[in-house]
Structure 1
Amino acid sequence: MSVTDQHKTHQTFGGKIVVLRGDFRQILPVIPKGSRHDILASAINSSHLWLFCKVLKLHTNIRLLMSSSNQDDGEMKIFANWILDVGNGNIGSVVGDELEVKIPNDLLITTTDDPLSHLVDFAYPNLLQNILDYRDGKRVFEPDTTCQADENEDVKQEWFTPEFLNDIKCSGLLNHKLTLKPGVAVMLLRNIDQTSGLCNGTRLIVNILDSNVIGAAVVTGRNIGNKVYIPRMNLILQIQDCHLSSNGDNFH
């Protein structure tokens, strides 16, 4: 802060405008091994700064704009309104300390013999016919190195063998080995380029597998048929239980 702004030191964020984005009603903070109280206490609306915040609400449903037909648009609008009513507490009845919500029949899996297979067939019809032999796919490996930091200088690198690092599975980090092949359907987990439709949740069909890039075609939204290329992206993840940082150069 400059000398001329010293009179603003008593103001929140030094008088600067700070944009906080997200929806804590849908996505709560992640507190490893934290209780429900710890999670709620970490939300921005539990902070004393919340009194100085002005809430700006979104009024346009982007997913509705991405629908490919009028029928999809109507179904998504009904579903979006239902989800909003559930979040606002307009649907359901209070039983004790819990709210019971009746799920519409069209959102339920009625079969009981193999519900997972039924869900896969509904989301990806004729999946087996459209995908070639899975064993012929190309395996994509992630690096198995750790980042040397000041706080873990006393930790010997030989303690963490490649086998141990390869078995680590946690939120935000992909598995060490992925088996992909041309023709397989994948979902993007990172926001890369919104104008090209490369957002979290975009579904793609893999066309090209290279060492540092994956070529694919968009199959959802307004950019259906567009050819895109997904590069490797560096990801550093803090693994609290092991007191180390994992450096992953991988696809998302």
Structure 2
Amino acid sequence: MRLSLGENNNIQGLRNFTEWLLKIGDDLVGDTTDDESIVHIPSDILIKNFETALDDFIDFVYPDMLSNLSVENYFKDRVILAPTLDCVTDVNNKMTEGLPRQERVYLSSDSVCAEEGNMEFELDAFSPEILNGINCSGLPPHKLVLKVGAPVMLLRNIDQTNGLCNGMRMQVRRMENHVIECKTLTGNKAGSIVLIQD
């Protein structure tokens, strides 16, 4: 996490906040009972309106997103980290909804190459509904909804020699049926245009 001064340049306030965060990380803050700590969070950093919390958070991290879609380092300098895959899905869906262009849906393959001896069992055990519902780390969702301008991240190594590695962040420039054109935002080839093919 990188903290920076806001408009009021409250250096002491920022210093106090960073020390508080470090103490939380070192387990020096809070009341510990039964191996669980209760940390009291100051009210000035709590989310006040739960119904608009995600919208407010996205607006905070990506201020004036629509007017900055073509700004060189806008998405490179900002990221939202989420604790669970469900949170990642919520953030992705909300950000995609906020983009003005037409969405395109990409679906994963939802069939199994069954062995002859166990074919009936495997077809029942691995039905399309089960395969499409898998949501685990390292696998893309069954239904990927994208729009031009959306920030994306690679989840696996595609071409290490050209820098297309797990964790690389890119921005969608164009989409076709089986190819997505992106501009790389991170890595040693930042700024280059790549084609991702299914």
TM class by shorter chain equals 0.5 to 0.7
SS of alignment partner, residue 146 of structure 1 = coil
How far apart, in 1, do the equivalents of 2:189 and 2:20 lie? 27
How far apart, in 2, do the equivalents of 1:105 and 1:184 lie? 33
Matched, 1:184 2:122: no
How far apart, in 1, do the equivalents of 2:24 and 2:147 lie? 40
Aligned match of 2:172: 206
Paired amino acid for 2:135: C
C-alpha displacement of 1:143: 0.8
C-alpha displacement of 1:90: 2.3
How far apart, in 1, do the equivalents of 2:64 and 2:134 lie? 30
Aligned match of 1:125: 63
Paired amino acid for 2:106: V
Alpha-carbon distance change, 118 to 166 in structure 1, aligned in 2, over 3 angstroms: same
Q: Is the 8 A contact 1:204 1:217 kept in 2?
A: yes
How far apart, in 1, do the equivalents of 2:106 and 2:43 lie? 40
Paired amino acid for 2:32: V
> Which structure would you say has the larger Rg?
1
TM-score between the two structures when normalised by the length of structure 1: 0.45
What do the CA deviations read for 1:178-223 (whole angstroms, capped 9, x no partner)? 22122122234345659848552x543201324554322244x576
Alpha-carbon distance change, 109 to 218 in structure 1, aligned in 2, over 3 angstroms: farther
Q: Is the 8 A contact 1:215 1:227 kept in 2?
A: no
Matches within 5 A, 1:99-110: 99-103=37-41, 108-110=46-48
C-alpha displacement of 1:83: 5.4
How large is the Cα RMSD of the aligned pairs? Answer: 4.5
SS of alignment partner, residue 114 of structure 1 = helix
SS of alignment partner, residue 145 of structure 1 = coil
What do the CA deviations read for 1:34-88 (whole angstroms, capped 9, x no partner)? xxxxxxxxxxxxxxxxxxxxxxxxxxxxx77xx9xx769x9xx998876554343
SS of alignment partner, residue 229 of structure 1 = strand
Q: Is the 8 A contact 1:109 1:119 kept in 2?
A: no
C-alpha displacement of 1:144: 1.0
Matches within 5 A, 1:1-252: 85-95=23-33, 97-103=35-41, 108-127=46-65, 130=69, 131-133=99-101, 136-148=102-114, 152-153=118-119, 155=121, 157=123, 162=128, 164-165=129-130, 167-172=132-137, 173-190=139-156, 193=160, 196=163, 198-200=165-167, 202-219=168-185, 226-229=191-194, 231-232=196-197
Instruction: Point out 4+ residue stretches in structure 1 off by more than 6 angstroms.
Output: 77-81
Alpha-carbon distance change, 84 to 147 in structure 1, aligned in 2, over 3 angstroms: farther
How far apart, in 2, do the equivalents of 1:165 and 1:228 lie? 35
TM-score between the two structures when normalised by the length of structure 2: 0.54
Provide the identity percentage: 27
Structure 2 unmatched ranges of 5 or more: 70-98
Q: Is the 8 A contact 2:108 2:142 kept in 1?
A: yes
Aligned match of 1:246: none
Q: Is the 8 A contact 2:163 2:187 kept in 1?
A: no
C-alpha displacement of 1:141: 1.7
How far apart, in 1, do the equivalents of 2:59 and 2:100 lie? 17
Paired amino acid for 2:191: N
Alpha-carbon distance change, 112 to 155 in structure 1, aligned in 2, over 3 angstroms: closer
